[in-house]
């Protein structure tokens, strides 16, 4: 794999930001000596936008998991952006991370790198806050994403907003009463897609039974099942921890509806 660490000025964020990109190498993959070949459609890779959690940044998937090895085996590009404590939203007191992640970033990486823009080649995954972000991308941009995955995700946001104690949600959403039945409420967004008979991406959801978000995940799972949504759900031993996420991101990559794309070494 080639690791590209990119900084650029985002118009949506109105500041410099960083993103890490993994690109496959090997036969029929990136030829670093002939970069002009990267413009041809047959050299474009399927991609997973891999999102970090609330206490992490864009470097953590690389530092705390073996995502590079796992992605190399699948021949898939991985885009890891930074999103601060934004819940992948346009913040009331902060920056427009939803606009950045859902619009500007895909346009940038598809123009700058040999990454496919086809729906069938485009996926998202994330952990905790990033699990919320991945499902948000899939449910609000179903025309763009074929499948999305959440590991230990904050999926029932409305319930979490009502929990006591300090949080960063006020900076993101302002008054929490604005979230229920809004575009930031994944339960509501999923229900609307189903009611309008719109295409819904394939969904993968996993959470450890010892995770503090376990009940949160059960609530979303049960609601999705009540709607008859195509949701693949897994649970098992594990807490809110990297050992769980490192194991289960492999499950996600195995589940993704990829064409035969394994790198020939």
Question: How many residues does the structure list for the chain?
Answer: 265
173: CB partners within 8 A, 6+ apart: 87, 89, 92, 161, 179, 184
Identify the pLDDT of residue 263. Answer: 47
What is the distance between the alpha carbons of residues 223 and 101, in angstroms, rounded to a whole number? 26
Question: Reduced to 3 states, what is the DSSP secondary structure of residue 202?
Answer: strand
Q: Which helix (H) or strand (E) holds 3?
A: strand 2-10
Identify the pLDDT of residue 161. Answer: 87
Identify the pLDDT of residue 43. Answer: 75
| All domains in the chain, ordered by first residue | 2-255 (3.40.50.1820)
Identify the pLDDT of residue 135. Answer: 98
Q: Can you give the pLDDT of all 265 residues of the chain as single tens digits?
A: 999 999 999 999 999 999 999 999 854 455 545 544 444 455 799 999 999 999 999 999 999 999 999 999 999 999 999 999 999 999 999 999 999 999 999 999 999 999 999 999 999 999 999 999 999 999 999 999 999 999 999 999 998 887 766 578 999 999 888 999 999 999 999 999 999 999 999 999 999 999 999 999 999 999 999 999 999 999 999 999 999 999 999 999 999 999 755 444 4
Identify the pLDDT of residue 163. Answer: 76
What is the distance between the alpha carbons of residues 92 and 226, in angstroms, rounded to a whole number? 33
Question: Reduced to 3 states, what is the DSSP secondary structure of residue 31?
Answer: coil
The pair of structure tokens assigned to 140 is 């609000």
């Amino acid at each position: 794999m080639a690791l590209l660490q990119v900084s650029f000025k985002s118009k949506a964020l109105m500041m410099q930001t960083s993103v890490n990109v993994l690109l496959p190498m090997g036969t029929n993959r990136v030829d670093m000596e002939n970069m002009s070949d990267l413009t041809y459609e047959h050299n474009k890779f399927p991609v997973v936008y891999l999102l970090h959690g609330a206490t992490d940044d864009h470097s953590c998937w690389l530092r705390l998991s073996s995502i590079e090895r796992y992605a190399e085996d699948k021949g898939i590009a991985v885009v890891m952006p930074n999103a601060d404590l934004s819940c992948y939203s346009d913040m009331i007191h902060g920056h427009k991370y939803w606009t950045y992640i859902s619009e500007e970033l895909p346009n940038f990486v598809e123009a700058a790198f040999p990454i496919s823009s086809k729906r069938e080649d485009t996926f998202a995954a994330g952990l905790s806050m990033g699990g919320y972000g991945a499902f948000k991308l899939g449910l609000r941009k179903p025309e763009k994403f074929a499948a999305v995955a959440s590991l230990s995700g904050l999926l029932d946001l409305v319930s979490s907003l009502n929990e006591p104690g300090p949080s960063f949600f006020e900076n993101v959403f302002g008054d929490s009463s604005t979230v229920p039945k809004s575009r930031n409420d994944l339960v509501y967004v999923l229900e609307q897609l189903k009611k309008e008979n719109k295409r819904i991406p394939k969904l993968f959801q996993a959470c450890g039974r010892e995770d503090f978000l376990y009940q949160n995940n059960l609530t979303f799972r049960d609601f999705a099942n009540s709607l008859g949504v195509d949701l693949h759900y897994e649970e098992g031993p594990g807490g809110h921890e990297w050992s769980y996420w490192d194991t289960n991101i492999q499950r996600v990559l195995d589940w993704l509806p990829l064409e035969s794309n394994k790198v020939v070494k």
